[in-house]
Structure 1
């Protein structure tokens, strides 16, 4: 499985968002991915891990999560903290439900137990554009959804069109397989199986999801906490100045009794932090 590793300290596994292929990142993509990890690398050994290349046609989210679980069992001697962002967040939820022994704490960023309807439609249209040889249209479709409002979505769609040939110019069947796996993904009835303390972070104007989907995800996890950033879209969540302090305080609480997420016992209720 392609990976990058930076920093030193306890391991932190970062599950990436959707990518046009599952090859090791190079050039500007490698720099972009590395920049996401650096804020955590001061105190952690951060492992950015993408999906396995050559996914079998028809692979499900459970199949993809099993790849991660097998790799983590081989690499680490004990459960580790996991951050999953966007599509990586969907995989991380499946991983924690199916393979609880590998996950210590879980942070879900801009993801929920299923995609929203518009998010599903967008990803399927993106897949159709890729299959039809329209990389610019595919990129514009996907980038449009990253904004928080009409103007930002229009600007991001234009940017997506400009960079589309480069971003979607080298796609593989793994992209289509991953999109179809996420289209079928719905973990609503399995959320109670997630035993790891979990922080769900979402933007109140995320076009792929909704505030209600984020809330339902956090509430369905026995030790789940929601941090909702009103006004933020899919892209803006990780750029929000509250994001890094929220994640770091959750992963490294003042004492082992833990963060707000660990204080909500199963059946008692969950914390909800709207910022």
Structure 2
């Protein structure tokens, strides 16, 4: 018996926006919602278990919007800046939708989303940031750079992210050797693209521009997030004129976006009351 596709009703499709930005769309709503993907080691639409995780995370939004999960363009040139990437996205989203859209930016996607709101506010209707703020946490910056450098050199790299992947330092210390061992099975598909984006995000810092960003913004922080510490999120919300902060005290980095409260909180911010089953 064929396995039933539980996301069939969400009409999943894939495509490419201007500048080669790959996207996966899903959802029963008419209004678009753009999710700028978190850190990925490839500039393609995720497949396999990564696709399944993405669909499950975005399904609650797909019950109300037509969701477009967008990645950075493949073939990213060395020296590309976050402003360059934001400019590409501004052109692509304007061509696709013709007007401002709601944007969700988790983790690295949040860095890009905030740069987009700063440089091209006409593209963003409302912005929801998760695990992200005006800059990266220093631990995340160092970990991503070390990961990228090792991966490009063909060395084991996965273990460099242990310290920012787990909210408990003891857990990170225990699992770091295991991550070193499994590295050959999770190598980046295209390390050069990932490394170019890592360099762009390493230089990302828009704190001095926060007072001028007028886009209504929700900042969702994890109280135990080692990659984007709560202080960065608090400053981001405090220094923007139309922003508010929600903190999940026990959440780590990825746990912020996957928290059961996240989708309802963001949907409410976008003016939608989530269904009880969401």
| TM bucket, shorter chain | 0.7 to 0.9
Say which is worse superposed, 125-134 or 157-166, in terms of deviation. 157-166
Question: Post-superposition shift, 1:166?
Answer: 3.1
Match of 1:206 in 2: 225
Whole-Å separation in 1 of the counterparts to 2:28 and 2:69 = 14
Give TM-score scaled by structure 2 length. Answer: 0.85
Give the structure 1 partner of residue 96 of structure 2: 75
CA distance in 2, matches of 1:8, 1:158: 43
Q: How does 1:67-216 map to 2 (within 5 A)?
A: 67-135=88-156, 138-154=157-173, 156-157=175-176, 160-216=179-235
- CA deviation vs aligned residue, 1:146-196 (integer Å, no higher than 9, x gap): 211123323553553354323324233111111111111100011123211
Instruction: Give the whole-Å Cα distance in 2 for the aligned partners of 1:106 and 1:200.
Output: 8
CA distance in structure 1 between the partners assigned to 2:227 and 2:136 by the alignment: 6
Q: Which runs of 5+ in 1 are unaligned?
A: 255-275
Indicate how the Cα distance of structure 1 residues 101 and 156 shifts in structure 2: closer, same or farther if over 3 A, else same.
farther
Distance 2:119 2:188 in 1: 34
Larger mean Cα displacement after TM superposition, 156-165 or 81-90: 156-165
| Distance in 1 (alpha carbons) for counterparts of 2:170 and 2:258 | 18
SS at 2:185's partner residue? helix
Does structure 2 retain, via aligned residues, the 8 Å contact 1:8–1:45? yes
Cα distance in 1 between the residues matched to 2:167 and 2:248: 11
1:8 to 28, 35, 58: 28
Q: Do 2:139 and 2:164's aligned partners in 1 also have CA atoms closer than 8 Å?
A: no
Distance, in Å, in 2 between the alignment partners of 1:81 and 1:37 is 14
Select 1:25's aligned residue among 32, 46, 51.
46
Q: For residues 56-67 of structure 1, what are the structure 2 equivalents within 5 Å? A: 56-67=77-88
For the residues of structure 2 that align with 1:159 and 1:112, how far apart are their CA atoms?
30
SS in 1 for 2:165: coil
Distance 1:22 1:193, change over 3 A: same
Query: 1:143 deviation in Å?
Result: 4.1
TM superposition shift of 1:121: 1.1
**Residue number in structure 2 paired with 1:266:** none
Return the alpha-carbon distance in structure 1 between the equivalents of residues 100 and 132 of structure 2: 22
Q: Deviations over 1:108-163 (max 9, x none)?
A: 0001111122111111111121122124xx22222441211123323553553354
Corresponding residue of 2:240: 221
Deviation at 1:253? 5.2
Give the stretch that moved more between structures: 167-176 or 70-79.
167-176
Which aligned runs of 4 or more in structure 1 are off by greater than 6 angstroms? Answer: none
Gaps in structure 2 of 5+ consecutive residues: 1-20, 274-278
Find the aligned partners of 1:169 and 1:79 in 2 and give their Cα distance. Answer: 33
